[in-house]
Structure 1
């Protein structure tokens, strides 16, 4: 793990670098498109939500990665679950353990909130991400994601 990188809660000063990270993430996902104003709006909503957490990986006052998590109520679990989204590390810093640090920290958010399960969606063609999640102990399920837009 990189010793000069630390994980902290995001703040409004991080909005621009987080939006840049989301732009890089959404540029490789078929189901989403990069739109800085939308991403910024969503990030602001998360920052103000006590049932959500945005974590950033920072090194020398520079954001090099991020992860978001939101508390949802699971009827299957009979309690809180964490929906993890937006796990992204700057491309030139991938493979250094920063993603693992972020995922460990979001697990801490789950523990704080007595969540019994964490879940996330990953692009089925993003092989590096799928390998990463498998390596850190995340399991595939038999579920698929469906969506309907209302815009």
Structure 2
């Protein structure tokens, strides 16, 4: 089934499909799904090509997965680093290798654009996700994630 999947960089015309697949991720994480906010977020992010790297997986013209990274600056290292904000493959295609290919494509994109490191957050309860990232060369860090509404 994964043989019929193609990967490519996302374009602004893909926003609707990316919102649809991202909604599945947010539902899995018990997060609020606000499609208008997601559309606005993708439009803001994609307004500057230097700020992002997004790859999508397509099957029969439909988006079935995506991996999205954003560019940050590490002042203490004087270099660009990337943050993977969203990574999702539709349920029926998980464990087919599509996720690993998406992640690798985004890593290559970030490397090619001068990023020295890439990081992400994964929910502690998402043991499948943690195992997936570990199998793909990612390591746990000692930092503690904290959040505050503004």
TM-score under structure 1 length normalisation: 0.91
- Contact 1:122/1:130 (CA < 8 Å) preserved in 2? yes
Q: 1:119 to 1:39 in 2, by over 3 A?
A: same
- Contact 1:68/1:85 (CA < 8 Å) preserved in 2? yes
Name the residue aligned to 2:68: 68
Q: Which has the higher helix share?
A: 2
Classify the secondary structure of the residue corresponding to 2:102: helix
1:105 is aligned to 2:105: yes
- Contact 1:52/1:70 (CA < 8 Å) preserved in 2? yes
Deviation of 1:27 after TM superposition, in Å, equals 1.4
Mean Cα deviation higher: 64-73 or 74-83: 74-83
Classify the secondary structure of the residue corresponding to 2:53: strand
Give the unaligned 5+ runs of structure 1: none
User: RMSD between aligned alpha carbons?
Assistant: 1.6
- Contact 1:21/1:65 (CA < 8 Å) preserved in 2? yes
Name the residue aligned to 2:39: 40
Classify the secondary structure of the residue corresponding to 1:45: helix
- Contact 2:53/2:110 (CA < 8 Å) preserved in 1? no
Task: Name segments (4+ residues, structure 1) moved above 2 Å.
Answer: 1-4, 75-78
Name the residue aligned to 1:2: 2
Deviation of 1:76 after TM superposition, in Å, equals 4.2
Give the unaligned 5+ runs of structure 2: none
Q: Aligned pair count?
A: 149
Name the residue aligned to 1:146: 146
